[in-house]
Amino acid sequence: GLRKRSIIGQVDATSLKPICIGIHKRYHICNTQECPNYSGDVRAEQCAKYNNRRYKGESYTWVPFLN
């Protein structure tokens, strides 16, 4: 994943322009370990979680939309 932090500077009262000193954005890479081998379809699993939920009184089998 990627984590981003932005700093919003103060505004100069005379010019109404932001005062920013130094780096105003900082990025940090996290969760850099390799993903485990997984042969399933994550999107299909996410959709299947809704198979037992009723939608407008009806039951559906949910599948991912593949373009």
**Alpha-carbon dihedral angle through residues 46, 48, 51, 55, given to the nearest 10 degrees:** 30
Domain boundaries, the chain: 2-59
Is pTM, for the whole model, over 0.75? no
Mean pLDDT, residues 50-60: 91
Cα gap 29→3, rounded to integer Å: 6
Average pLDDT, the chain: 78
Which phi and psi (to 5°) does residue 17 adopt? -100, 145
Is the pLDDT confidence value at 57 over 80?
yes
Grouping H, G, I as helix, E, B as strand and the rest as coil, residue 35 is coil
Q: What is the pLDDT of residues 28-48, one digit of tens each?
A: 787 777 777 777 888 999 999
